[in-house]
Amino acid sequence: MEDIFEKRVRAAAIAAWWTILVGTIFLVLQWTLYLVFMSARPAWLLWLCGPDVGWPFIQTVWLWAAALFKALLWMLAVIALWLTFWSKKLRKQTPVQ
């Protein structure tokens, strides 16, 4: 029973690390798009956001969304690190048969 639990904790840690990797790639992609859009300032982006929306508002919303996503990614990284350490501790405690 403990061996199955240790495997599940390890699988959860691995899944969390993969999620962090995908989230980091997404964060880099959105930052690149932010730099491209804020330098080019295409008119269609303002049209998508609706009337009475200016570039300062788009910048603020984009930066806040990126900051919130980054904070959630950091919390997930702490959880993944904790799961990894817990998995290692469980592996050491499992008796060898």
For residue 14, pLDDT over 90 is answered with yes
Tell the residue number behind the tokens 């899944």, with chain if given.
15
Residue 94 predicted with pLDDT over 70: no
pLDDT confidence of residue 8: 94
How would you label 74-84 residue by residue, b for 16+ Cβ within 10 Å and e otherwise? Answer: eeebeebeebb
Residue 1: pLDDT over 60: no
For residues 16 and 76, is the Cβ–Cβ distance under 8 A?
yes
- Asked if residues 9 and 86 have their Cβ atoms less than 8 Å apart, the reply is yes
The predicted model scores a pTM of 0.83
Check residue 95 and give its pLDDT.
Answer: 67
Tokens (6 digits) for 16: 């969390």
